[in-house]
Structure 1
């Protein structure tokens, strides 16, 4: 079967005979087992880049270059041709008075989209008005990437925003508002900024996370070589195929046990804890209310089931719906984001509390990333994520605050969630340190 090199050559040859110019061309090929897709994507000199792997690992996508960019997903949805997809996401607080520097949303129709579905690979080229630009992009592709080393480094310093005393005061203010106002739940977050003794790339962190954190969506949005947002999130915002919609309430968290017995005991505690059950039900009720006007039918899993991840366990309830005709994916994005699982309830009151009390801007953290297409669309919630800007590495995590929440317990929950990515940073081997010292 055709390999990637032959597939690219086939596409380049086709460019000289195209008349009229189609929206896209696709060629199937066989991926080499000796090449890691993340390493291949990292080696390419074309931006923006996007990496996507679904949590069932069935779909994997490598996206390069832009034909068009969009700040409004609805505008994109109206111009997409059959089979085309735009990639990107929506931030939590971009283009607000508080966070002018971050985009509210960024989507792009890629020049090159390489897709694995199951074991089948294909490369697609989307065309604009300039075929020479497409040809130039294809000619830049590096076919044999260098291997990525593990994310080995020493953490020189760690800074939390808020600090624990600030966090404790913020929780007290939240519980007071929950007691005295209409606020039922607010999700408060922490940014953990690391100073490292060497640069760790987003691709190094992503590859290590993909290899260790199964049952997660894995994503990377790289606007340029120095600005990358990367994550491994367990939470789907929604998956939509035609009129079939799947979403979920993922809320309620406990850590993993040191032994199988401890793990089971923690799981049973989570399944029976009234505070976590209440937090999960709030998310279910919010999603159901937001979808009602868009759906012919709506079905919610009766009781939460357990989702076990490498560092934490969650309560989850599946929500499935049949959409009314003509409902757009961008309308679903507007309605569902931000969910009660990452903002709170009521949404406006929770967001106001977050803006007034959190000491940092969230940006892409707790937004949504994924794709919007003519046949189907899928987005995940951008938690368990990191913003990488040159030598700076910022990790994010949040905790749902409801009656009965305790500041110290929630702080430990943040630690467990951050460890999804933080634990991937391994100390350098002694031989490497000695070599550097010498």
Structure 2
């Protein structure tokens, strides 16, 4: 700890308000920039939006990052889900960076901020790379050539059966199992196109993008907050228990009523609350949780949620809270170590950034979301992720359908190309000419 406190602080920061043109979309401006890493953040309530470009300094340890912060600075990034496990060493445990350039909105006021660091020439070179020229982003249009689920349904069923057996005969009480769905497209997809389409459609979510380079981007629109912290006040939540949306209003209300009264989903939500309470007990003065869960209705699914309000002890670091809360029972299970062990042994892929945490650190406040409803975009490949909480009473088929509903948050944004063959175009032209002829013949002479 003494070593951390001796880290040199980066003090050079300039910030100024400015007016963002109302007809310019910040995501379209972000798409035009060639400076990496790129980070985009849009808060769930819509009051905050940030684009962070370039790096003054990067950190593999978030606590080291927090100790270098000076007043007004923000460090952006996140922690992977399984970077700490032996099988997950191929991905970053965490990645945080102090950006060279920040373009941020707080409510309606925009600010341009520059972290100069110790290299003024490097900052000038980065500023010179900024582009004022950008184009509007169309909705993502592509054809899905191939779709592969990992695990496939037979292996998924085996995993569920194995989990239910362990829950019955071992200390395991809940485990969250995930599926990776890989789409091969007929053309490269811009991650910013997917991000913009999701922000426009999934308005009740956090929206984020972490781009390491032009061809490796992690993007998501998550409904789940890990925590928001302002001085000694902390707010977190238990978001667990899921059902789809109904086609009609009557169907939707029936599904909502079922979810609010289903013992299995209520129990799953309670486990998340209990886990958060256990993890924060040593760091807080008081802990208050909503007595009953309420519904969160999203575009494709609805969830059970309970808000949690915490009064922290003094001098608790945000990164201490990050370490304590991640991974929650909502994305791993209970007990944590048993659930992580089961996931490591049974899931046939490395989660990486999926179900990790994404957000920012600052002296004044910090906020992180849980990186679900997310995708890793690599040129013409998209990896979509979704998970389901397995507790007594879980059914492989029902949970598989839940995964489909969750990935549809992003999958439904990919529109097929409106392709017409040469023959079809000729027929269309003939039909149009015939229609014009019939129309003209039907018009009475003057």
Whether 2:386 is the aligned partner of 1:394: answer no
Q: How far has the Cα of 1:226 moved from its partner? A: 0.9
Check conservation: 2:11, 2:117, Cα contact below 8 A.
Answer: no
Equivalent residue in structure 2 for 1:277, among 241, 266, 277 = 266
**Unaligned 5+ residue runs, structure 2?**
1-9, 427-446
Aligned position for 1:87: 76
State whether residues 95 and 102 of structure 1, in contact with CA within 8 Å, keep that contact through their aligned partners in structure 2: no
Aligned pairs for 1:38-437 within 5 A = 38-94=27-83, 96-430=85-419
Report the 3-state secondary structure (helix = DSSP H, G, I; strand = E; otherwise coil) of the residue aligned with 1:98: helix
The CA distance in 1 between the partners of 2:141 and 2:424, in whole Å, is 13
Instruction: Give the direction of change, closer, same or farther, for the CA distance of 1:72–1:124 in structure 2 (3 Å limit).
Output: same
Residues 57 and 97, structure 2, Cα contact 8 Å, conserved in 1: yes
* Superposition deviation, residue 79 in structure 1: 1.2
CA distance in structure 1 between the aligned counterparts of 2:20 and 2:266, rounded to whole angstroms: 45
- Aligned partners of 2:11 and 2:70 also within 8 Å: no
> Residues 435 and 180 from structure 1, CA distance in 2 versus in 1: closer, same or farther, beyond 3 angstroms?
farther
Q: Structure 1 436/301 Cα, relative in aligned 2: closer, same or farther at 3 Å?
A: farther
Larger Rg: 2
CA–CA separation in structure 2 for the residues paired with 1:257 and 1:297: 39
TM-superposed CA distance for 1:293, in Å, is 0.7
Alignment counterpart, residue 26 of structure 1, candidates 4, 7, 15: 15
Structure 1, residues 42-81: CA drift from partner, whole Å, max 9, x if none?
1101000000001111100000000000011111111111
Output the CA distance in 2 between the equivalents of 1:191 and 1:436: 37
SS in 1 for 2:247: coil
The 2-side partners of 1:342 and 1:372 are apart by 22
CA distance in 2 between partners of 1:25 and 1:435 (Å): 60
SS at match of 1:430: coil
TM-score normalised to the size of structure 1?
Answer: 0.93
TM-aligned CA deviation for residue 33 of structure 1: 1.6
For residues 208 and 318 of structure 2, the distance between their equivalents in structure 1, rounded to whole angstroms, comes to 20
8 A contact 1:151–1:200 mirrored in 2: yes
Q: Which consecutive aligned stretches of 4+ in structure 1 deviate over 4 angstroms post-superposition?
A: 433-438
Measure the CA separation in 2 of the matches of 1:196 and 1:22.
45
The answer to whether the Cα contact below 8 Å between 1:35 and 1:144 also exists between their aligned partners in 2 is no
Distance 1:382 1:70 in 2: 19
- Cα offset for 1:95? 5.3
Give distance in 2, aligned partners of 1:189 and 1:403: 17
Question: SS at the partner of 2:211?
Answer: strand
Count of residues in Structure 1 that have an aligned counterpart in Structure 2: 417
Q: Are the aligned partners of 2:62 and 2:96 in contact in 1 as well (CA < 8 Å)? A: yes
For the 8 Å contact 2:241–2:304, the answer to whether it is kept is yes
Q: Residue deviations 1:272-326, cap 9 Å, x none?
A: 0000000000000000111111111111000000000000000000001111000
Contact 1:368 1:382 in 2 (8 A): yes
- 1:9 is aligned to none
> How far did residue 138 of structure 1 move?
1.0
Given that 1:95 and 1:101 are in contact with CA atoms closer than 8 Å, whether structure 2 keeps it comes out as no
Q: Determine the C-alpha separation between the residues in 2 that align with 1:364 and 1:271.
A: 31
Matched-pair contact (CA < 8 Å) for 2:51–2:104? yes
For the residues of structure 1 that align with 2:338 and 2:116, how far apart are their CA atoms? 44
Note the C-alpha offset of 1:97: 2.1
Deviation at 1:35, TM superposition (A): 1.3
TM-score (norm 2): 0.92
Distance (Å, rounded) in 2 between the aligned partners of 1:434 and 1:90 = 50
Name which of structure 1's ranges 32-41 and 104-113 shifts more when overlaid on structure 2: 32-41
* 1:12 corresponding residue in structure 2: none
